[in-house]
Amino acid sequence: MRLRNIEFTYSKGNRAWELVKWNGETCFVIAFFDRHKEGYAMRTVGGRFFEDHDAWFVGKHALMFLNEVLAEQEL
């Protein structure tokens, strides 16, 4: 899922779901999504997440998506 320069993606290198911000050809992680017994939680990197309104929007929908997938797997 991507909105302008914010992308929700799975990183094979980090073996985790991430929120990344693209700046031309480069990107950097602004948040990680950690799985717990009760669902997923988002862990931000410093204040990067709070600097971009699109990050709030994509992060919210990413959490909803991951928790829905987890709920479906538990059925």
pLDDT tens track for 29-38: 999 999 998 8
Sign of CA dihedral 24, 28, 31, 35: positive
> Once rounded to an integer, what is the mean pLDDT over residues 15-36?
94
- Tally the domains of the chain: 1
Contacts for 3 with CB less than 8 Å, ≥ 6 apart: 54, 57, 58
pLDDT of residue 12: 94
CA distance 63 to 51: 19
Domain that holds residue 35: 2-74
Query: Model pTM?
Result: 0.85
